Amino acid sequence: MFVSIIGFICLINLITRDKPFSEKENRVLEQKPEITAAGIESGRFMDQYESYKSDQFAGRNLWVTMKTNVDLLLGKRESNGVFKGKDGYLLEDIASPNQEQLEANLKAMNEFAGDYSNVPFYMLLVPNAANILSDKLPALAVTADQEKQFEDIRKALEREYVWVDAQKTLKKHKDEEIYYRTDHHWTTLGASYVYQELAKYMELDTSKSPDLKPYAVTADFNGTLSATSGYKSRYKEPIYIYGAKDPKDETEIVVTYTDEQRKTATMYDRSKLESRDKYAVFFGGNFSMMDIRTTADSTDRLLLLKDSYANCLIPFLVPYYREIIVIDPRYYYGDIYQVMKENKITSVLFLYNGNTFVEDNSISGVLESHETE
């Protein structure tokens, strides 16, 4: 019977077609690796094949759900780096940095800022929910000390960058809905509080911004932490965008997606509300480079280097800049020095969440591109 069951499972996997993307987990799945002598000799092929079979295993979603439920019955409150916290919160574990890569990134950032002594540089590092909402973690959960990570990063950048203290701001509002319960992102409410603090550091004239109010664009969001962990798969929560109370006060824009060679007059892609990745309603997701041109009464031009946390904060900055160049270093391969020169950048902002920043392996490469050409 045992052999028959194993044989049946193998047969099902042989006849099941590979899937390129998991809607449930909102990620690209591993595909069958190419067999090479070098790959076999190094062991890389075996690692890739194991990942491929894990992703493409027949009925994978069912098995993951069963495992998660069994773990819960046994008292386990962590799955795939996600804690099942109190009050319905799922909290991503705090990442430990790749110290060598982090130091390379910080060195490159300092050198980049040092090349533009007349341009102000700002660093906005957003703490993750497990830091700010540590009281929501399950009993006996242990995470890395993100506050110490932030302090070390602040000290490394203090000569060249103005440090925007998002941690202090978010702690003041920790009892509000500043993080999603099923997703690793902060909510637009959380971003709005930090934007207000950022405006002070960047000396933005907030009288240029219209009165804003939140609008719910969906009440059906179930985020990536739910998909990754298998917890709270049926939980739904809202996503808000902020718009002018009087539509006549909205700043008009044109967003150019550089690599895709397309333009749009909105910062929101409502088609994403029909997909699993509803957070991508902000700009349609992440792209290597976006050029946002506005009708704002300003000649200032901002260069924003970021991860996905920035996507819901960018709309708050639009009224203050004639142009905002948005670059995601994870996908960008151009010359950033050329961007600074051709677009006459007047200020630079780095905006990341803590976990992404300490694990990033692309910042140093993007900032050093000028030197290697």
CA-based diameter of the chain, in Å?
A: 76
Q: How confident is residue 56, by pLDDT bands cut at 50, 70 and 90?
A: confident
d(CA 369, CA 373): 6
Long-range interactions of 43-51: CB distance < 8 A, separation 24+? none
Q: Are residues 142 and 20 in the same domain?
A: no
Q: Are residues 70 and 102 in the same domain?
A: no
Measuring CA to CA, which residue among 168, 170, 165, 169 is closest to residue 201?
A: 165
Quick one: pLDDT at residue 196? 97
A 10 A CB-CB count for 220 gives 11
- Structure-token pair, residue 292: 């946002």
Of 87, 117, 139, the one marking the end of a domain is 87
Quick one: pLDDT at residue 27? 59
Q: Where are the alpha helices (DSSP H) in the chain?
A: 2-15, 37-42, 44-56, 60-73, 99-114, 129-132, 146-157, 166-172, 188-201, 224-229, 314-317, 336-342, 354-359, 363-367, 369-372
Quick one: pLDDT at residue 256? 98
d(CA 114, CA 356): 24
The predicted model gives 194-214 an average pLDDT of 94
Q: How confident is residue 71, by pLDDT bands cut at 50, 70 and 90?
A: low
Quick one: pLDDT at residue 63? 72
Lowest mean pLDDT among 46-50, 69-73, 104-108: 69-73
A 10 A CB-CB count for 66 gives 12
Q: Are residues 48 and 116 in the same domain?
A: no
A 10 A CB-CB count for 19 gives 13
Quick one: pLDDT at residue 234? 86
- Structure-token pair, residue 334: 């151009």
Quick one: pLDDT at residue 252? 96
Q: Are residues 183 and 220 in the same domain?
A: yes
d(CA 226, CA 72): 14
Question: Rounded to the nearest 10 degrees, how much is the dihedral formed by the CA atoms of 331, 333, 104, 149?
Answer: -20
d(CA 222, CA 25): 10
Phi and psi torsions of 230, nearest 5°: 90, -5
Q: Are residues 181 and 312 in the same domain?
A: yes
The predicted model gives 313-337 an average pLDDT of 96
The predicted model gives 170-181 an average pLDDT of 97
Query: Residue 60 to residues 55, 78, 224, 264: CA-CA distances in angstroms?
Result: 7, 19, 16, 38
CB-side neighbour CA atoms (13 Å) of 128: 27
Strand (E) or helix (H) holding 238: strand 237-244
Cβ neighbours for 333, distance < 8 A, ≥ 6 positions apart: 288, 366, 369
Measuring CA to CA, which residue among 250, 180, 252, 251 is closest to residue 218?
A: 180
Q: Are residues 32 and 102 in the same domain?
A: no
d(CA 163, CA 126): 11
The predicted model gives 188-209 an average pLDDT of 95
Quick one: pLDDT at residue 121? 98
Q: Which residue has the tokens 């965008």?
A: 241
pLDDT in tens, 246-264: 989 999 999 999 999 999 9
Q: Are residues 78 and 158 in the same domain?
A: no
Q: Are residues 255 and 355 in the same domain?
A: yes
* SS3 at position 173: coil
d(CA 115, CA 124): 20
For residue 272, what is the DSSP state?
G
Note whether 330 and 307 are within 8 A (CB).
yes
Task: Work out the end-to-end distance of the chain between its first and last CA atoms, rounded to an integer number of angstroms.
Answer: 64
The predicted model gives 173-191 an average pLDDT of 97
Strand (E) or helix (H) holding 347: strand 347-353
Of 66, 87, 108, the one marking the end of a domain is 87
Q: Are residues 327 and 260 in the same domain?
A: yes
Quick one: pLDDT at residue 76? 66
Quick one: pLDDT at residue 371? 47
Quick one: pLDDT at residue 373? 42
Quick one: pLDDT at residue 304? 98
Q: Are residues 259 and 202 in the same domain?
A: yes
The predicted model gives 235-239 an average pLDDT of 96
Number of independent structural domains in the chain: 2
Q: Return the higher-pLDDT residue of 20 and 2.
A: 2
- The whole domain housing 74 covers 2-87
Q: Are residues 105 and 81 in the same domain?
A: no
Q: Where are the alpha helices (DSSP H) in 158-271?
A: 166-172, 188-201, 224-229
Q: Are residues 243 and 327 in the same domain?
A: yes
Quick one: pLDDT at residue 228? 85
Q: Please check the confidence at residue 74 and state whether its pLDDT lies above 70.
A: no
Q: How confident is residue 60, by pLDDT bands cut at 50, 70 and 90?
A: confident
Of 87, 119, 154, the one marking the end of a domain is 87
| pLDDT-above-70 percentage for the chain | 93
